[in-house]
A and B are shown apart, each in its own frame.
Chain A
């Protein structure tokens, strides 16, 4: 009886894991984890877009970022959510509904004044905002909403 329970539990776990690996990438991180993410080596231009599910201009510009990354293999896109870390389901259900395939990290660190300047000194804290990191580690930061054309112009200037 116990064994069959264990086996079914194991099978369930396996099933869940199977679905999980198939699923979109979502993680809750703190600022040091975000910083190490930005410091990883990459041959691509990495784009970190700061957004939140409740932020209308953010939600509007997200498809442009997804599209641009799909068209250009030299880019790697991350969506950094500023949503409430106590309610991650808001983000995961948004990802499903909007078909967000890029990795999403919920940066759950509300002591904002401690880290906003570290992302970029020119950032006032308003979202949307986007950090671009070139393969050589150099950075470019933009605060405010972009349309597809503006985004492409920014990327071409980074190349």
Chain B
């Protein structure tokens, strides 16, 4: 009996250990119900999934100010929002980087960036990093395409925006657009997850 409880205890420790270390293997998978959030945005409002008017879903993008890959994609993020918000899939960009670790990603710098680039979508600050931990984002930019089913937002696609960060005109696979088209046409999504090189999340350091 003692042996068994010891064994169970050690399993519990292993489980906790892998939860702490495996930040990237945790989080939402395709088909999971995404949790809602309530985050302040650069325009002084709050944004949550359930407050999106008439939304059929959302394009949630973990983003920041400082990552060159994000910078390369900012115009395409604006284009995505302008194209799909009216169709029910607005972009919500979320910065989860710790401003102490990455001063260029502070809320003030977010406001500057949103103004300079003329972001048409909400740009929200996940200061506690709870949202990105729940979703399992590991890099910027990292897209979670959500589809509203009843009152739930279900994860339909996770990954990159497309397959060429350097040159928008040389893109041959538009992962996010293709996924939304597939959803709208009731077809299966060809690429449900993709990977791309990106910047690490600047996690808050333990004091």
Residues of A within 8 A of B (CB): 50, 52, 54-57, 82, 84-86, 110-114, 116-117, 122-128, 143-145
The B64-115 residues at the A interface (CB cut-off 8 A) are 68, 102
Closest to A58 in B: B200
A126-B160 in contact (CB<8A): no
Query: How distant is B65 from chain A, measured CB to nearest CB, in Å?
Result: 13
Contacts of B198 in A (CB 8 A): 124-127
Asked if A84 meets B194 with Cβ closer than 8 Å, knowing A55-B199, A126-B199, A143-B24, the reply is no
Residues of B within 8 A of A (CB): 24-25, 68, 102, 138-139, 159-160, 163-166, 172-173, 175, 191, 194-201
A145-B200 in contact (CB<8A): yes
Bound: A52/B69 CA distance, A: 12
Closest to B159 in A: A113
A116-B191 in contact (CB<8A): no
Asked if A110 meets B166 with Cβ closer than 8 Å, knowing A124-B139, A125-B198, A128-B200, the reply is yes
Query: How distant is B91 from chain A, measured CB to nearest CB, in Å?
Result: 20
Contacts of B197 in A (CB 8 A): 50, 82, 112, 116, 125-127
Contacts of B160 in A (CB 8 A): 112-113
A126-B164 in contact (CB<8A): no
Task: A55-B200, A111-B164 given; name 19 further pairs at CB < 8 Å.
Answer: A82-B197, A86-B166, A111-B163, A112-B163, A112-B195, A116-B195, A116-B197, A122-B25, A124-B24, A124-B139, A126-B138, A126-B139, A126-B197, A126-B198, A126-B199, A126-B200, A127-B200, A143-B24, A144-B200
B194-A113 in contact (CB<8A): yes
Asked if A117 meets B200 with Cβ closer than 8 Å, knowing A110-B164, A112-B160, A125-B139, the reply is no
Contacts of B159 in A (CB 8 A): 113
B191-A113 in contact (CB<8A): yes
Q: Which of B25, B102, B138, B196 contacts A113, CB < 8 Å? A: B196
Q: Which of B166, B195, B196 contacts A84, CB < 8 Å? A: B166
Closest to B196 in A: A112
Closest to B201 in A: A126
Query: How distant is A31 from chain B, measured CB to nearest CB, in Å?
Result: 12
Bound: A111/B173 CA distance, A: 9
Contacts of A54 in B (CB 8 A): 68
Report the 8 A-B pairs with minimum CB-CB distance, sorted nearest first: A126-B139, A124-B138, A116-B195, A113-B194, A112-B196, A126-B200, A125-B195, A124-B24
Query: How distant is B204 from chain A, measured CB to nearest CB, in Å?
Result: 15
Bound: A114/B162 CA distance, A: 12
| 5 cross-chain CB contacts under 8 A | A55-B199, A56-B102, A114-B163, A117-B195, A126-B138
Bound: A55/B199 CA distance, A: 7
Report which residue of A113, A124, A127 has the largest number of chain B beta carbons within 10 angstroms of its beta carbon.
A124
A116-B196 in contact (CB<8A): yes
